Chain A
Amino acid sequence: MSTEETAESFENTHVLDPAATADSQETVNREIADIHAAYRASVADGAPEETQPRIDFAPYRSSLLRHPTKSLHHADPETIELWSPAFGERDVHVLESDLTIQHNGEPIGERIVVQGRVLDGDGRPVSGQLIEIWQANAAGRYVHKRDQHPAPIDPNFTGVGRAITGPNGEYRFTTIKPAPYPWKNHHNAWRPAHIHFSLFGTDFTQRMITQMYFPGDPLFPLDPIYQSITDPAARDRLVATYDHSVTSHEWATGYNWDIVLTGSNRTLMETEEEH
Chain B
Amino acid sequence: MAQAPELKLAPTPGQTIGPFYGYALPFTDGEKLVDRAHPGAIRLHGTVRDGHGAPIPDSLLEIWQADEHGSIAQETGSLIRDGHTFTGWGRTAVDNVGRYSFTTVNPGPTEEGKAPFIMLTVFARGLLNRLFTRIYLPEDTAALANDPLLSSLPPERRSTLVAVREANGDLRFDISLQGPEETVFLSYPRNA
Contact = CB atoms under 8 A, between A and B. Distances in A.
24 contacts: A52-B13, A64-B51, A65-B126, A72-B186, A79-B110, A80-B107, A86-B73, A86-B75, A86-B76, A121-B8, A122-B8, A130-B79, A132-B24, A134-B21, A143-B23, A144-B20, A208-B130, A210-B13, A211-B18, A225-B15, A226-B15, A260-B9, A265-B190, A268-B4
Contacts of B183: 68
A145 interface: yes
Which residue, A53, A70, A85, has most C-beta atoms of chain B within 10 A? Answer: A85
Given A73-B149, A160-B23, 12 more contacts: A53-B14, A55-B129, A55-B131, A65-B52, A67-B177, A69-B51, A132-B24, A132-B25, A209-B130, A210-B14, A238-B15, A269-B1
A52 B25 contact: no
Interface stretch (A29-37, A38-46, A88-96, A245-253): A88-96
Contacts of A225: 15-16, 128
Contacts of B75: 86
Interface residues of A, number: 88
A198 interface: yes
A87 B78 CA distance: 7
Q: Is the interface of A mostly helix, strand, loop or mixed?
A: loop
Nearest to B85: A90
Contacts of B13: 51-53, 210, 229, 234-235, 237-238
Interface residues of B, number: 82
A90 B74 CA distance: 13
B169 interface: no
A170 interface: no
A97 interface: no
Q: Is the interface of B mostly helix, strand, loop or mixed?
A: loop
Contact of B128 (A60, A121, A133, A268): A60
Contact of B76 (A75, A88, A119): A88
A67 B126 CA distance: 8
Interface of B: 1-2, 4-5, 7-25, 50-52, 54, 56-58, 62, 64-66, 72-80, 87-89, 107, 110-111, 114, 117, 119, 121, 123-132, 134, 148-149, 152-153, 157, 177-178, 182-192
A17 to B, nearest CB: 9
B119 A86 contact: no
A171 interface: no
